[in-house]
A and B are shown apart, each in its own frame.
Chain A
Amino acid sequence: MRDRDVIQYCMDSLGERGADKSQVVWKETEKHEINVDNDEISLFRTTYDTQLDLTAIEGNKKGSTSVNKTEKPAVDDAVERVFQLVQTSSEDEAYDIAPKQKPQSFSTGPAQPDPDRMYGLLDDFLTGLDKTYPEIRLIQSVLDFERTTERFVNSNGVDFSTEKGVYHIFLWFASKDGEKTTSFNGIQLSRTELDQDLMELDFLNDSLRESVEHLDARPLEGKFTGDVIIAPQSLVQLVHIYTSLFLGNQALISGTSRLQDKLNEKVASCRLTVHSKPTSEQICDGYFVTPDGFAARDVTLLEDGVLRSFLLDQYGANKTGKERAKTAGGAYVIDAGNQPLDELIGSMDRGLLVNRYSGGYPSSNGDFSGVAKNSFYIEDGELKYPVTEAMVSGNLIDVFREIGGISQERVDLGTAIMPWICSKGVTISGK
């Protein structure tokens, strides 16, 4: 069946079977991917996938299923399975689907990949690497183009269509010189155009240079309380953990969030403003429709340190009595600060520049500890040397509360825009 036919067929089938409310999401994905393994272009991969997600609610009971087929027998099986799930569901008045909204079509990014440009970009990058950073080994790196076509329909009259094309660049590397080897380092970017050579990306060049410098890294000695400058890719990781631990459905429904009753209260440094901007032109790899069927909006989560929004979806909002967030999270943007990065480093007495955080998932109270990878020891305002075996530990709420400065510079990752932030009072321990 074609897309329009299969969606209507599913909606009709769910309605005929007695669903009070029903929802169908059809998605087609085409991916073209070139892989690099061990400094060699190794594989060209093309995949076509279809996904059909069906949800039915009947008598406050809910079932969901997905299948990657659109032939009638497979769709009939999926409809049957949804109602088996409905019948075994417990009743919950919080189950619902999105209300009627104005039908909209969204479109972003190119419709077709440029395989020759994809190949050329990687080939030029490998040549440039060999010349500029011969110690770098590129491992399992990928450049792909993903084109998705999606339609979201429900029985309240929601009808959203999205067409999106985006390139993903995932470069994973380490340095090796004789018997010396460094930790992994890497960058992950999204772009709608491949208009810039990879070697021209400052952020990538910095990461490559730092990787090579790490060939002479030494173990950090001792234990002290100091400052940490958290680099953009580590920062976005911590923001995702923070929002999940304190602002999301699970934490608020179970009541384990430490920010449960802190809406419109100051919970972080007044220097910190965090947005979720899935529809902004600033973010090339965002989204237009939330997984529960609302047109997404850009939302400020923390404004000058004040909590302005949780990240509850419709179910979480119904369950907790709090307001539904107009975003499904992600696409995070942190406002730039007023100090150059060099000045942030220059103002530190003792601490670390943390380029990658490799840590255990923090406990629900926000306590974390992990290894500061690809990181540098800072003393008396200077980057002294690259370190290994350096652990950082503290509490995530404190990290965002005790911010000593935010850089003017930011990095556009395509899925997020992040500065460097300096946080005080973190436990740093070495050998």
Chain B
Amino acid sequence: MLKAELRQYADLLSDYTELRVQKNTSKRIALIKGNLAQNDQSSSSGVSARVRKGGSWGFASHTEITDGSVKKVVESARDNAEFLDSRLKRGRSAFESTAPESADDFSSDKPRLSQKQVMDFITDIDAHIAKNYPDLADRRISLRSLDMEKSVLNSDGARRYSMVPRTNIRVSLTLSPAGEPVEVSENFGGLGQFEDLFGEPGDLSEGIERIYEHLQKKAEGVHPDAGVKDCILDADLAGILAHEAIGHTTEADMVLGGSVAGNYVGKQVASELITLVDFANTCLGELCPVPIFIDDEGTKAEDVVIIEDGILQKFMHNKDSAQRFEAAPTGNARAYQYSDEPLIRMRNTAILPGESKLEDMISSIEDGYYLMKPSNGQADTTSEFMFGVVLGYEIKNGKLGRAIKDTTISGVAFDVLKTVSMVSDDMSWSNGGFCGKKQMIPVGMGGPAVKCRINIGGR
């Protein structure tokens, strides 16, 4: 039924209703020091409906995808909406009706590889590492893939079919100088299925050598000197800053919840060098890591320019928040599983490139840090953020120095972005990220390198 016509159920959708059929298929393989620690596949599919009555929502889902279960979830969702509406009686008006349509399939046209061929690929990478880097204390190679396939129909007639796959191979290498483990990791892959992303195991050799070179330097690394420093945040860190620290504060539900960004529309919140956008599907002519053309409410997905030349412009909306802000919905409503309701989620959030060269940015710093890879990140309503940094270098007198041990950077993003004095003229995307906000969801984060002043943890 995923690719089938949901319009046969249109007569069931009396109030404002979204009907969605979805299947998530995932594959996970993990090798730890050559031992197969994980080798499994799973799939999860079902049908859900969400009904709005007087401004209150009801939702229901079921694993079975049959005519009977479709009818049952619509009725159950309507009952739930009525349960709330009978008590709350908000009497809110209907949404403005639009009915866009799209069909977007990013699955591979190539013949699918067998499980054995995929496993051989992973074990070949492991064998290459074991042979060429015998001094490693640990090596881990993991494959994670997720295919999200959805069909959506709403009561206005909007329709969407999409198949958005993502496949990543993560390589983590560990040295243990003096019994103290030190690790560097890198993610490969992104939008697409395995066959479209990975040709030969040897294609990863250059990346693995790069990981090992960083690891050797990090094994002799030092704790950074704690305090506020001049730093260059490389693309992955600029991307997570855009997503976690700014993006979340500009999701309209967070603004309604008291986010500091609610005070800032039309105000200078960042250096004039900063333009920050949540792209729906295409950035600078290239397809984004998580392309969304119509969201899970049936809204055509539009780019949201959050900050333009340092001025805060717009928030990200679903239909409900758009009505309350008297704005247009932006197509940011997305759900992770068939059994999840759509929430306001970022899609592909990035700072746009500037005009500086990275080498000029490094040479402009007398005493600071070049921070390259984040681990995780968190932020909140104030835009105060924290990111783990697992790869970085000192900058002394305009030159890269010693590697640093794992640390954390923190600050208030709207303050930090005001200190940005240089932005590099290139950008790259992080293709393996998930965002957690009640539900998980795949997101893209990207950016150039930015020079700013930031608080770095250390000893």
Interface residues of A (CB under 8 A from B): 37-38, 40-50, 62-69, 71, 81, 84-85, 87-90, 92, 115, 119, 123, 137-140, 142, 174-176, 179, 181-184, 223, 249-250, 253-256, 258, 319, 358-365, 367, 369-371, 373, 388-389, 391, 393, 427, 429, 431
> A182's contact among B382, B455, B459, by CB below 8 Å, is which?
B382
Q: Does B426 count as interface, using CB distance less than 8 angstroms?
A: no
Nearest chain A residue, comparing its CB with the CB of B33: A254
Interface centre among A42, A65, A84 (most CB of B within 10 A): A42
Q: What are the residues of chain B within 8 A of A223 when measuring CB–CB?
A: 226-227
Q: Is the CB of A90 within 8 A of B123?
A: yes
Q: Is the CB of A49 within 8 A of B46?
A: yes
Q: Is the CB of B32 within 8 A of A89?
A: no
> A371's contact among B48, B389, B410, by CB below 8 Å, is which?
B410
Do A360 and B43 contact each other (CB < 8 Å), given the known contacts A45-B80, A88-B115? no
Q: Is the CB of A38 within 8 A of B42?
A: no
Q: Does B83 count as interface, using CB distance less than 8 angstroms?
A: yes
Q: Is the CB of A48 within 8 A of B61?
A: yes
Distance between Cα atoms of A95 and B347 in the complex (Å): 40
Q: Does B60 count as interface, using CB distance less than 8 angstroms?
A: yes
Q: Tally inter-chain residue pairs, CB-CB below 8 A.
A: 246
Do A370 and B457 contact each other (CB < 8 Å), given the known contacts A66-B40, A67-B42, A85-B41? yes
Do A364 and B181 contact each other (CB < 8 Å), given the known contacts A90-B123, A139-B258? yes
Distance between Cα atoms of A155 and B303 in the complex (Å): 54
Q: Is the CB of B46 within 8 A of A363?
A: no
Q: Is the CB of A68 within 8 A of B44?
A: yes
Q: Is the CB of B254 within 8 A of A139?
A: yes
Q: Is the CB of B46 within 8 A of A142?
A: no
B392-414 vs A, CB cutoff 8 Å, 1 = contact: the mask equals 00000000000001111011100
Q: Is the CB of B253 within 8 A of A140?
A: yes
Distance between Cα atoms of A138 and B256 in the complex (Å): 10
List B residues 355-390 near A (Cβ within 8 Å): 374-376, 378, 380-382, 384, 386-390
List B residues 42-60 near A (Cβ within 8 Å): 42-46, 48, 56-60
Q: Is the CB of A360 within 8 A of B76?
A: no
Do A254 and B41 contact each other (CB < 8 Å), given the known contacts A68-B46, A139-B253? no
Q: Is the CB of A364 within 8 A of B35?
A: no
Nearest chain A residue, comparing its CB with the CB of B77: A46
Q: Is the CB of B138 within 8 A of A369?
A: no
Do A65 and B42 contact each other (CB < 8 Å), given the known contacts A254-B138, A391-B457? yes
B324-353 vs A, CB cutoff 8 Å, 1 = contact: the mask equals 000000000000000101000000000000
Q: What are the residues of chain B within 8 A of A255 when measuring CB–CB?
A: 137-138
Do A66 and B39 contact each other (CB < 8 Å), given the known contacts A37-B256, A45-B59, A46-B60? no
Do A63 and B39 contact each other (CB < 8 Å), given the known contacts A139-B253, A139-B254? yes
Distance between Cα atoms of A359 and B387 in the complex (Å): 7
Distance between Cα atoms of A364 and B44 in the complex (Å): 33
Distance between Cα atoms of A73 and B257 in the complex (Å): 46
Distance between Cα atoms of A142 and B458 in the complex (Å): 37
- A-B contacts, 6 of them at CB < 8 A, read A37-B256, A43-B341, A362-B406, A389-B384, A429-B457, A431-B228
Distance between Cα atoms of A139 and B414 in the complex (Å): 21
Distance between Cα atoms of A88 and B257 in the complex (Å): 50
Distance between Cα atoms of A49 and B337 in the complex (Å): 11
Do A388 and B406 contact each other (CB < 8 Å), given the known contacts A49-B339, A174-B258? no
Distance between Cα atoms of A370 and B456 in the complex (Å): 10
Nearest chain B residue, comparing its CB with the CB of A173: B257
Q: What are the residues of chain B within 8 A of A123 when measuring CB–CB?
A: 87
Distance between Cα atoms of A90 and B37 in the complex (Å): 10
Interface centre among A46, A90, A179 (most CB of B within 10 A): A46
Distance between Cα atoms of A42 and B80 in the complex (Å): 11
Q: Does B110 count as interface, using CB distance less than 8 angstroms?
A: no
Q: Is the CB of A250 within 8 A of B32?
A: yes
B1-43 vs A, CB cutoff 8 Å, 1 = contact: the mask equals 0000000000000000000000000000000110111011111
Q: What are the residues of chain B within 8 A of A137 when measuring CB–CB?
A: 257-258
Do A44 and B80 contact each other (CB < 8 Å), given the known contacts A85-B115, A88-B39, A256-B137? yes
Q: Is the CB of A44 within 8 A of B257?
A: no
Question: Closest CB of chain A to B64's CB: distance in Å?
Answer: 8
Question: Closest CB of chain B to A374's CB: distance in Å?
Answer: 10
Interface centre among A45, A89, A176, A359 (most CB of B within 10 A): A45
Question: Closest CB of chain A to B305's CB: distance in Å?
Answer: 23
List B residues 223-267 near A (Cβ within 8 Å): 226-228, 253-254, 256-260, 263
B406-426 vs A, CB cutoff 8 Å, 1 = contact: the mask equals 111011100000000000000
Q: What are the residues of chain B within 8 A of A47 when measuring CB–CB?
A: 48, 59-62, 339
Q: What are the residues of chain B within 8 A of A64 when measuring CB–CB?
A: 39-40
Distance between Cα atoms of A142 and B439 in the complex (Å): 12
